[in-house]
Chain A
Amino acid sequence: MNPLVISIAVKHLLARKRQSVVSLFGIVLGVAFFLTISSLMLGSENDFIRRLVDNTPHINISDEYRNPKQQPAEIAFPSAALDVRSVKPETETRGIRGFVQILDYLHTIDGLKASPVLAGQALVSFAGKDVGISLNGVVPEELNTVSTLHNYMTVGSIEDLIANPDGIIIGTELARVMSLRVGENLNVAATTGQIHTFKIIGLFHTGRASYDEEQTFVTLKRVQALLDRPNRVNTIIIKLNDAYQARDVAAQIEAHVGYKSVSWQEASEDIMSTLMIRNIIMYSVVSAVLVVAAFGIYNIISTVVMEKQRDIAILKSMGFHARDIEWIFVTQGCVLGIAGCAVGLPLGMAMMRAFMGLSFRVPGSSDPISIPMDWSWYQFVIASAFAFAAATLAALLPARKAAHVQPVDILRGGT
């Protein structure tokens, strides 16, 4: 760019320090808020996904089929005009049949760990109180490899279930609600009508009140007996070394074993869609700040163009081209955009750091949480590019108007 054009543009801006600073301030705030809010959104999204990936199985094989079983007639006559209705499935014990063979198959897949679970509803009674719980029958030796429960144990450990087959691990909320302590007995009534007394051998605390109140863990054999479903499990939970392979691996497993295999991405599709919509809303709102700032720039450069009609006329009479005049005013927008980014980016980083230091309690969580912030280079690029483009485009219209000034029209009335 011509240094003369830059020199004139900068002089114009410096001649109107106050207006220039005000319009610059708009860009600075726009860039800073863009960075801060996008980092906040990205941080919360990543934190959410991290929690989702860490705290839930990457793949869940359940005792269901995605589609009804094909009937023999449909298999025999694939091209026939068949209409099979009101098929009554065979009555059988619910659960995954042949889960041992399925586990053997799963263990042949690299980077995969799997463990069976039999989960069912039950009722616990203590001191006259009845509370509904989810009873999870697990293999204690394997659970640590597919679950993060061990990270949340406050008393005891999952391995204690090996030495205490009649032991039960409950959440701190359930213990609080029912005034229970480790070492005390707990009567559990299954939906089959059977009642079993477990001894509390461990407590966990995840911070999610509903989970800490509802979920309990005992050995698989005890739950199979209590629910009257011997040699059955209704879930196989799987962890992968690379959680983002879950969708493909789930499809592969489902194709092989037939049972419905749901990846964490599929299970959270509605949440992921919500996150995407939230991102669109966020970027629209934050971009609006920059658009408003661009209007400020448009305003000041339009004013400068109006005030500088005589200077434009004299420059053109001197031999400046229309393009030179246009560049003088576009450069003013560019200078404001660059200066806005130069100040806005560090300010945005400072705001991000300030937000990272905050922590507070939210409803549904028993622990204080800090604000998750996350950023990457592309946010800085987007913020800078958008601010620069907005400032430059805002200057373009008045610049074009300036370029079309006819010197003779101004000089005739310019004495």
Chain B
Amino acid sequence: MTTALLRADHISRKLPGDVPVTLIEDVSIDVHPGEFLAITGPSGSGKSSLLYLLGLLDRPTTGHVWLNSTETTDCAEDRLADLRLTHLGFVFQSHFLLPEFTAAENVMLPMQRLGKLSQSEIGTRAVQLLSDLGLHDQVHKLPRQLSGGQSQRVAIARALANDPHIILADEPTGNLDTKSSGIVQDILRSLSHQQGRAVVAVTHDPAFAQKADRLVTIVDGKIA
């Protein structure tokens, strides 16, 4: 067994308040390179909350999250942001593309923030990523000029911009028609199986979940 790229160790997440709400309770999970992991469960069960904890967007109330053997629980916000920038790519149910930027410019944003490539290299890579996802003729279009499926593929290209080891997808096909949904599912599957990336996808689509290598079901914040 390979070393886990991402490890959650007995993590819980409670929202404070007069009546504390438990989102996640004592969940442990390992994600390995090249693995396609699906997280399923009923609405409100805590699937997305678990994904946000794994994606370092939220901090567990108790427990620990390791990314590439780095314990992240006590990291400062800027350090977590740097880890997200270099190791993680996010795809959400809604594409969340910046509306003022073209498809290529959206894909260029994470690379520009990282600042490792020259501007021309960034542009070339953005066009290449979009072409790989069948969007070579949509490069200069604004998000409002793209269909839902095309926008979601731009979002995937953006998630891949800094060549992350792990892709975290939150209901990536939730807003898509059947055909577009199938395309996105195939892309995510190929990212893990052909490119060796770890893909963690939250879904309540059974057909999508069946394509995963491993299935984790969350009920009431716990692994069922």
- Give the residues in chain B near A408, CB-CB below 8 Å: 52, 57-58
Interface string of B104-147 (1 = CB under 8 A from A): 00000110111000000000000000000000000000000000
A12 at the interface (CB under 8 A from B): yes
Is B48 a contact partner of A412 (Cβ separation < 8 A)? yes
Residue of B nearest to A314 (CB): B96
Among B82, B94, B101, which residue has its beta carbon within 8 angstroms of that of A319? B82
In the assembled complex, 6 residue pairs joining A and B whose CB atoms fall closer than 8 Å, in A order, are A318-B109, A319-B86, A319-B114, A320-B113, A408-B57, A415-B94
Given contacts A4-B113, A408-B52, A415-B94, contact A317 B84 (CB under 8 A): yes
B55 at the interface (CB under 8 A from A): yes
Given contacts A317-B55, A319-B84, contact A415 B171 (CB under 8 A): yes
- Give the residues in chain A near B84, CB-CB below 8 Å: 317-319
B85 at the interface (CB under 8 A from A): yes
Report, nearest first, the 10 A-B pairs whose CB atoms are least far apart.
A319-B85, A11-B100, A314-B96, A4-B112, A408-B58, A319-B84, A15-B100, A408-B57, A415-B93, A408-B52
- Give the residues in chain B near A319, CB-CB below 8 Å: 81-82, 84-86, 110, 113-114, 162
B71 at the interface (CB under 8 A from A): no
- Give the residues in chain A near B18, CB-CB below 8 Å: none
A407 at the interface (CB under 8 A from B): yes
Among A311, A321, A407, A414, which residue has its beta carbon within 8 angstroms of that of B98? A311
Is B109 a contact partner of A4 (Cβ separation < 8 A)? yes
Interface size, A (range): 20 to 34
B208 at the interface (CB under 8 A from A): no
B42 at the interface (CB under 8 A from A): no
Is A318 a contact partner of B78 (Cβ separation < 8 A)? no
Is A318 a contact partner of B52 (Cβ separation < 8 A)? no
Interface string of B153-165 (1 = CB under 8 A from A): 0000010001000
B92 at the interface (CB under 8 A from A): yes
A184 to chain B, nearest CB (A): 85
- Give the residues in chain A near B93, CB-CB below 8 Å: 415
Interface size, B (range): 20 to 34
Is A318 a contact partner of B113 (Cβ separation < 8 A)? yes
Is B113 a contact partner of A414 (Cβ separation < 8 A)? no
- Give the residues in chain B near A311, CB-CB below 8 Å: 96, 98-99
B186 at the interface (CB under 8 A from A): no
* A binding-site residues for B, Cβ under 8 Å: 4, 8, 11-12, 14-15, 310-311, 313-324, 407-408, 411-412, 414-415
Is B77 a contact partner of A310 (Cβ separation < 8 A)? no
- Give the residues in chain B near A8, CB-CB below 8 Å: 98
Is A411 a contact partner of B92 (Cβ separation < 8 A)? yes
Is A316 a contact partner of B113 (Cβ separation < 8 A)? no
- Give the residues in chain A near B52, CB-CB below 8 Å: 408, 411-412
| Bound-complex Cα distance A320 to B90 (A) | 13
- Give the residues in chain A near B96, CB-CB below 8 Å: 310-311, 313-314, 414
Is A318 a contact partner of B48 (Cβ separation < 8 A)? no
B174 at the interface (CB under 8 A from A): yes
- Give the residues in chain B near A323, CB-CB below 8 Å: 78
Is B81 a contact partner of A321 (Cβ separation < 8 A)? yes
B87 to chain A, nearest CB (A): 9
For the A-B complex with A314-B98, A319-B110, A320-B81 known, give 16 more contacts whose Cβ atoms are closer than 8 Å. A4-B112, A8-B98, A11-B101, A15-B100, A311-B99, A314-B90, A315-B109, A318-B84, A318-B109, A318-B158, A319-B82, A322-B77, A324-B113, A411-B57, A415-B92, A415-B171
- Give the residues in chain A near B85, CB-CB below 8 Å: 318-320
B residues 30-72 near A (Cβ < 8 Å) are 48-49, 52, 55, 57-58
| Bound-complex Cα distance A358 to B36 (A) | 80
Residue of B nearest to A14 (CB): B100
A257 to chain B, nearest CB (A): 76
Chain B CB within 10 Å, residue with most, of A14, A314, A319, A320: A319
- Give the residues in chain B near A318, CB-CB below 8 Å: 84-85, 90, 109-110, 113, 158
Is B100 a contact partner of A322 (Cβ separation < 8 A)? no
B57 to chain A, nearest CB (A): 5
| Bound-complex Cα distance A322 to B221 (A) | 29
B62 to chain A, nearest CB (A): 17
| Bound-complex Cα distance A4 to B110 (A) | 10
B17 to chain A, nearest CB (A): 14
Is A316 a contact partner of B94 (Cβ separation < 8 A)? no
B86 to chain A, nearest CB (A): 7
B46 to chain A, nearest CB (A): 11
